[in-house]
Amino acid sequence: MAHIVTIDEIENSANKTVWYDFDSKIKDINSDGNITANLELKSVGDFVQVLGNVKGTLNLECDLCLKPFKFEMDFDIDELFAKHALYNDYSQETELKEGQFITDLNGSGEIDIYDLLYQSVILNLPNKKVCGINCNGREFLHEEEMLDPRMEVFKNIKIHPKK
């Protein structure tokens, strides 16, 4: 099933608003069940604003202890899509809220919901994936086990300051 919403579909709907419910797996994202999203796509002048919420459970690997764990994802989406080429019409006039980006559709006439959700999930992953506050990763990863034998050559290097 294609997860596409066309600009014409939005423009021709009541109040120029389309509601879109997503409930599916997303390729290359290891989730425990489906990712769900409730989105509102609304025509706002030369832009389409996408507002909504995304939820799901991801299967991640702890950066400290390397054990798999479940991560409950729940975040909001607030994206703008330009219906026309931004560079020609709005080279420096578009006002953005903090942290907001505008995706230029370059006249394609459609928004790929699947791609929007894929990118949003990836961008909302935690920078440091830790299985929990009580992770014993530091005990699990002993320093001597983590040493790379190729780095042994650097143990005896002496650096003399320039005079």
Higher per-residue confidence, 66 vs 51: 51
| Measured distance CA(116)–CA(4) in Å, rounded | 10
| Measured distance CA(20)–CA(24) in Å, rounded | 13
User: What contacts 24+ positions apart, CB below 8 Å, involve 124-132?
Assistant: 124/54, 124/73, 124/75, 125/58, 125/60, 125/71, 126/71, 128/63, 129/60, 129/61, 129/62, 129/63, 129/71, 130/62, 130/63, 130/64, 131/62, 131/64, 131/65, 131/67, 131/69, 132/69
| Measured distance CA(114)–CA(39) in Å, rounded | 12
User: Once rounded to an integer, what is the mean pLDDT over residues 53-70?
Assistant: 94
Higher per-residue confidence, 126 vs 158: 126
Instruction: Name the pLDDT band for 92 (thresholds 50, 70, 90).
Output: very low
| Measured distance CA(99)–CA(75) in Å, rounded | 14
Q: For the chain, what is the radius of gyration of the CA atoms?
A: 23
Q: Is there a contact between 62 and 154 (Cβ–Cβ < 8 Å)?
A: no
Instruction: Name the pLDDT band for 91 (thresholds 50, 70, 90).
Output: very low
CB neighbours (10 Å) of residue 46?
14
Task: Say yes or no to pLDDT of 121 above 90.
Answer: yes
Higher per-residue confidence, 38 vs 66: 38
pTM of the model: 0.74
- CB under 8 Å to 36, separation ≥6 — which residues? 21, 22, 23, 54, 55, 56
Task: Say yes or no to pLDDT of 124 above 90.
Answer: yes
Task: Say yes or no to pLDDT of 72 above 90.
Answer: yes
